[in-house]
Amino acid sequence: MINQLNRSHFYLIETAKKLISMRFKENRHHFAAAVKSKSGKIFTGLQMKTSISGAEICAEAVALSAAAEEGITDIEMLVVVNRIGDIISPCGCCRELFLDYCPNAEIIVPGVGGGKIMTPHELLPLRSTLLKQAKE
């Protein structure tokens, strides 16, 4: 498989890696995310881990919120990395966020050669079908 990533993707990955390398804190920040708008502006976010299981906020949500605070809604690409800088797949809740807030974004996920591109619809392929069935 040919690597799908280009210079913009690698820059976004490096931005997230730099953030987690600077801000990793045990039991607080284990993941970092970076999102890029169509205008090229980059927003970052750190996972906000809590002592209560299930009450944490994902790095992707923090980064998307930072963009929304500035009125930026045209997110073009997104990546999340773990504490050692590896690209990781977003959780189910974040996949739902992507479908609602950036349905056309390129999501960088782990793949051969470091990463590959997927869309929110590819990450949650049955969502529209399930929503339709729930309404019936």
Determine contact, residues 58/31, Cβ cutoff 8 Å. yes
Q: How confident is the model at residue 124 (pLDDT cuts 50, 70, 90)?
A: confident
Q: How much is the pLDDT for 1?
A: 41
Rounded distance, CA 20 to CA 45, Å?
Answer: 9
Q: Where are the beta strands (DSSP E) in 32-135?
A: 32-37, 42-46, 75-81, 106-109, 116-118
pTM of the model: 0.87
Rounded distance, CA 121 to CA 136, Å?
Answer: 21
Would you give the DSSP letter of residue 54? T
State yes or no: pLDDT of 69 exceeds 90: yes
Structural domains of the chain sorted by starting position, each given as residue range(s) with its CATH number in brackets: 7-135 (3.40.140.10)
Rounded distance, CA 104 to CA 106, Å?
Answer: 7
Q: What is residue 37's three-state secondary structure?
A: strand
Rounded distance, CA 118 to CA 112, Å?
Answer: 13
Q: How confident is the model at residue 46 (pLDDT cuts 50, 70, 90)?
A: very high
